[in-house]
Structure 1
Amino acid sequence: MQLILNGEARSFEGQNIYQLLQDLGYVGKRIAVELNGEIVPKSQHAETLLNDGDQLEIVVAVGGG
């Protein structure tokens, strides 16, 4: 399936958000996920299915001070 991930077209196997995050190495990191303009709570990552053409933004929180 084709997804737009952070503005770039990418191909992924059919999966949910959690599986995509695993494939990308983001599991366990402080992130926010937006799917087609809507923030997806972490509690819903495993049950939110991805579809061809979906647009995702993944933002990694970086601490500083």
Structure 2
Amino acid sequence: NVVADDGSFTSGPPGSAWTTYTETFAAVGDYPYYCALHGGPGGSGMSGRVLVREGTSSGDEKVFLPLVYPPD
């Protein structure tokens, strides 16, 4: 699952089944997130960021973020 560093979004509780999750970002900004089981806020472990920039939109943009475990 994913959780926003600031708690503004979450994909729900962790689970063992493969799932998809959709989030809409209405404002330009930097949205850091992390895996609740394998990461932490501030870029620790399994984490990432969605950078939303100004521009034109067709309204159907999608970003697929593969989950990759950090090296041991």
TM-score, length of structure 1 as denominator length: 0.33
| Greater helix share, structure number | 1
Q: Which has the larger radius of gyration?
A: 2
Q: Which has the higher contact order (CA 8 A, sep 6+)?
A: 1
TM-score, length of structure 2 as denominator length: 0.31
